[in-house]
Amino acid sequence: MATEDSTDRDADGAVAATDGAPTRTTFAGGHDRMEKIFKWAAYASGVLLVVVIALIFLQLVVQAVPALTKNNVNFLTSSEWQTTPSNMRFGILELLKITVLSSVMALIIAVPVAVGIATFLVQYVPQRLSRPLSAVIDLLAAVPSIIYGLWGIFVLAPFLVPLQKWLNENLGWFFLFKTGNVELSLGSTVFTAGIVLAIMILPIITSITRESLRQTPVAHQEAALALGATKWEVIRLTVFPYGRSGIVAGSMLALGRALGETIAVLIILFAATKTSIWSLFDSGYTFASKIASAAAEFDNVDQRGAYIAAGLVLFVLTFVVNAVARWIGGGRVNG
């Protein structure tokens, strides 16, 4: 005879308690095991990512230190770059100027345009047109960097020469438009590179901003309209605040892309005989293009270490950019 705490088995092998306790099947144990496996796999993935980044940083430091100890100038404040093993004199100041100028200019141009495009696609265009137009914008990200570089130097640069000359003649009193270290007629300036980079990062900002704006609850927008808000007021007071973190995240991701762009910048800009004066009409190397242009020197440990040291600065710079993005976004920046 069965007691109160005895159990009955059904045809499927499930075990049911007869004392009024919640039903628990034999499948629960399998579910628990899968959940634990998934949890530990997720933890391992997160830890692995941190470990890989830490190892990359450590390896860069280890390989850069020997060259830095043989450097005869200040690495952070010198504009010289001479990696002769017998007389190491290299600094990143010049690389930093060109990298920051071109990337920030690209961001200033691309962010308003990208946010405008994303707003147009989400708020104004019918759904049947929004998807194909979004696909066209996203296709810009599929164009190889070398194509952008060739288009920039052979098509865009000559077209921009008259504009650059006009800006230099009429706004030359402002430091960004002063006469730079190259001839304006060549078109190989930070101004040209910045516009090309802006086009390259446009789909990144547009895509993330578009998806962020689409997450704005419809109820919030309808409530604003019910209170008498215009379409622009709904976008400004409801949609933009809700999508703030997405806009910041997309912008900073795009900035990281611009900071590390290599081939396009290497084609457009070239080494200048004079140092940069923080003008958009300067030319020179960025961190990435300088490293790429000197691949032939990597067979020497000291010379390779100099370029790895420059790469280390770029590596740290990307982390600083990400930290600033999270601070601007109030700690809510996400992809």
% pLDDT > 70, the chain? 89
Are 254 and 209 in contact, with CB atoms under 8 Å apart?
no
Cα–Cα distance between 242 and 325 in angstroms, integer? 16
Tokens at residue 178, please?
A: 């002063």
Cα–Cα distance between 227 and 241 in angstroms, integer? 18
Q: Bigger pLDDT: 120 or 242?
A: 120
Q: Which CATH number, 1.20.1250.20, 1.10.3720.10, 3.40.50.2300, 1.10.1060.10, labels domain 92-328?
A: 1.10.3720.10
Tokens at residue 151, please?
A: 């288009």
Return the residue matching tokens 């077209």.
159
Give me the pLDDT at residue 15, please: 46
Cα–Cα distance between 112 and 201 in angstroms, integer? 12
Cα–Cα distance between 333 and 252 in angstroms, integer? 10
The pTM is what?
Answer: 0.83
Residue 169's pLDDT band, with cuts at 50, 70 and 90, is very high
Return the residue matching tokens 């933890």.
43
Residue 276 CB neighbour total at 10 angstroms: 21
Are 209 and 250 in contact, with CB atoms under 8 Å apart?
yes
- Chain segment 196-222, per-residue pLDDT in tens: 999 999 999 999 999 889 888 888 888
Q: Which residues contact 320 (CB under 8 A, 6 or more apart)?
A: none
Cα–Cα distance between 73 and 80 in angstroms, integer? 8
Query: Is the confidence at residue 6, as pLDDT, over 50?
Result: no
DSSP code for 238: I
Domain boundaries, the chain: 92-328
